[in-house]
Structure 1
Amino acid sequence: MNASYNPWVIDYTVILVRLVLAVLLGGLIGFEREQHNHPAGFRTHILVCLGSSMIMLLSIYGFAEFVGEPNVRIDPARLATAVITGVGFLGAGTILFTGKAITGLTTAASLWVVAAIGLQIGAGFYVGAAAGTVLVFITLWVFNKMEHRFLKSKKVRKLTIQAEEEELLDRVSEKLASWSIVTQKLTLKRLQATLDAPQCLEVQLDLMVPRSIEPKEMVDAIKGIGGVVAVSVE
């Protein structure tokens, strides 16, 4: 090893290269998230990756002048643990409970992984950062297509029907069964009569619907059932 080599000192050009690489790799993952309209997109992933890289650089090289001081111990990884904790709070903000399903878990995980990639770049572990980025792309893009094709063949939807008679439920149930739609929750509520509309029954159903069935197709079919006053699908 070169006797003049100092592991606590880094060239300014190397710092710039690492920060630019953090922007590029974080931006690649963020671009995929942005394309699918997820809460944390292009700029968010860039900032997380860049910030993680900056903190790692600071943790390793920012306190080099104190290395020779007595009673001072330098731990290059001391700030990395704070990054992982902080990104955990940021990722929690992307997780949403809509009443039908929990969304944002994958985006939260991608932010956490992007932070790890940024830490790798800041530490100069380029191969690990590049390999991690490729694997993240495979997970988010290739595995996503496989998941939707083989594992998530159905989607949660909320069907709301206003009807004049309660017997309508049997006809609606028959129609849903013909589409292989599974009812997870059913709520009945009687609406009071107004000047514009008579008293009617409101039915709310949480359904597991095959992805091949479009909302418009459901609305058109259920509107054709006698006694239906109004129908909506979310």
Structure 2
Amino acid sequence: MSEWLSWFLVDHADQVEILLRLSVAALAGMAVGLNRDIHNKPIGMRTLGLVALGSATVILSGSVYEGLHFGQDAVSRVVQGILTGLGFLGAGAIIKASDGREVQGLTTASTVWIAAALGVTAGLGAWFITFAGTAMTLFMLTFGKPLENWLTRLFAGREKVVQDDE
């Protein structure tokens, strides 16, 4: 059994690396999306998992498989295209109230953008950035509203009620 596994890993190292990068991208996006699902937001685990997976897929499709090396110019153009395109998806999550005074969905829109960025980092194999970015995103989504309320009370001397998805 171990001989077969080592043969497979040696002969298919690039495919294993690609599968790992795609899996980490999807998991990072899903982790962020789970937070959005927990807070009943319109974009959730499946959507953000697919956004991150799609970003990683696009990055990997532009790579040269011999050693998974990336041309700097090509990667830069692909990343720019991903983040521009995802801006439109995120914009669809932003809603302006009928009175024109309140805008909702900005946090949800930003989670679309960060899920794409996490997909890009996973697609590039930047594991530390992917894991650290996922952890920091989840921290901000979980503790951002209470922290903002506390800092507003501390520095402005008044209570500010931060909407869940401002």
State the TM-score, normalizing by the size of structure 2. 0.75
Change (3 A) 1:97 1:74: closer
Please state whether the residue corresponding to 2:74 is helix, strand or coil: coil
Where does residue 23 of structure 1 map in the other structure? 26
Task: Give identity over the alignment, percent.
Answer: 35
- Any idea what the Cα deviations from partners look like across 1:147-194, whole Å, max 9, x if unmatched? 3455464479xxxxxxxxxxxxxxxxxxxxxxxxxxxxxxxxxxxxxx
Q: Which residue of 2 aligns with 1:87?
A: 86
The letter of the residue matching 1:76 is V
- Compare relative contact order (CA 8 Å, sep 6+) and give the higher one, 1 or 2: 2
Alpha-carbon offset, residue 76 of structure 1 = 3.3
When Rg is computed on C-alpha atoms for both structures, the one with the higher figure is 1
CA contact (8 A) 2:79 2:120 kept: yes
Does the alignment pair 1:42 with 2:45? yes
Residue matched to 1:135: 136
> Hey, which of these two has a bigger chunk of strand by percent?
1
| Contact 1:26–1:46 (8 Å) recurs in 2 | yes
Question: 1:19 touches 1:54 (CA, 8 Å); kept in 2?
Answer: yes
CA RMSD of aligned residues (A): 2.3
Conserved? CA contact 2:118–2:133, under 8 Å: yes
Give the alignment's TM-score, normalised by structure 1: 0.54
Q: 2:148·2:162 contact (CA, 8 Å) conserved in 1?
A: no
Instruction: Letter of the 1:134 partner, please give it.
Output: A
Structure 2 unaligned blocks of 5 or more = 1-12, 67-71, 153-158
Unaligned runs of 5+ in 1: 1-9, 65-72, 157-234
More helix by proportion, 1 or 2?
2
Alignment of 1:65-214 (within 5 A): 75-99=74-98, 100-148=101-149, 151=152, 153-154=160-161
Q: What residue number does 1:51 align with?
A: 54
Contact map agreement 1:120 1:129 (CA 8 A) in 2 = yes
